[in-house]
Structure 1
Amino acid sequence: MSYKAKMDEMRGELRALNKTAPAAMQGFGTLSKAVKENGVLSLKEKEFVALGMSVVLRCEPCIMFHVEALMKAGGTREELADVLAMAVQMAGGPGMMYAGHALGCWDELAAQQG
């Protein structure tokens, strides 16, 4: 299954969760917006942090969504590689496997844009 298809499937599951637990999902959305719109770090820098954490925590859906967000925030493939290298340093072999997912997702999404 392609990363795009996985992302579409996850978005459908999240829409269902939003209908089932709207208050909790709204609260999470409010937190997410507040974190992204405030503070001294740029949105791109915050996405670097989120992506690195996603790799270390081994959350493939998080990885995909933060790769997409990083692309939209103006990140480059070279910056992505630097973030992934740091995540691998922190997470070892398992992190390396998920870093591979992140790079594969980036390359797939980039190919669809260009």
Structure 2
Amino acid sequence: MNEKVKEFREYRAAMNEKILAADNKVMKRIFNLDTNTYMEGALSTKVKEMLGLVSSMVLRCDDCIKYHLEKCQEQGVTTDEMMEIFAVANLVGGTIVIPHTRRAIEYWEIINQEA
């Protein structure tokens, strides 16, 4: 497994475990809302993950971008679809999103090489 991917996954899992171990009711509810939001509904899980990725790119959250890239891959998003997702994010977010797009493309290539 690529070191960048491994490091991201391990760090995220460890920190989520610490957050949830604190047994804070509000934090647990936020995590639960997040899980429920991305479940199949009127919109497919695939579409919701693509929306999450665009939102994360516009908000410039690299951790969120990596997470949604992985989820998009799990949902069968193609590279052509991904490039359109990046286009929407850059149109909505402006040129400040370009550095995040560069890192997103790099991560997308890495996780697809490993698949």
Q: Which band: TM-score by shorter chain?
A: 0.7 to 0.9
Equivalent residue number for residue 40 of structure 1: 42
User: For residues 17-72 of structure 1, what are the alpha-carbon distances to aligned partners after superposition, in whole Å with 9 as ceiling and x for unaligned?
Assistant: 11124423321232123222253111010011000000000001000000001111
SS at match of 2:38: helix
Equivalenced residues, count: 113
Q: Whose helix fraction is larger, Structure 1's or Structure 2's?
A: 1
Q: Secondary structure of the residue that 2:77 maps to in structure 1?
A: coil
Aligned-partner residue type, residue 105 of structure 1: Y
Residue 59 (structure 1) aligned to one of 41, 61, 69: 61
**Alignment gaps of 5+ in structure 1:** none
> Retained in 2: the 8 A contact 1:7–1:61?
no
Q: Is the 8 A contact 1:55 1:99 kept in 2?
A: yes
Identity of aligned residues (%): 24
Question: Among residues 96, 99, 102, which one is paired with 1:100 in the alignment?
Answer: 102
**Amino acid paired to 2:107:** C
How far apart, in 1, do the equivalents of 2:74 and 2:15 lie? 23
**What's the TM-score, normalizing by structure 1?**
0.87
Please list every run of at least 4 consecutive aligned residues from structure 1 whose deviation after the TM superposition is greater than 4 angstroms: none
> CA deviation digits over 1:55-103, x for unaligned, max 9?
0000010000000011111111111110001101111222111111111
1:27 aligned partner: 29
Question: Could you say what the CA RMSD is over the residues aligned between the two structures, in angstroms?
Answer: 1.7
Matched residue, 1:69: 71
* TM-score (normalizing by structure 2): 0.87
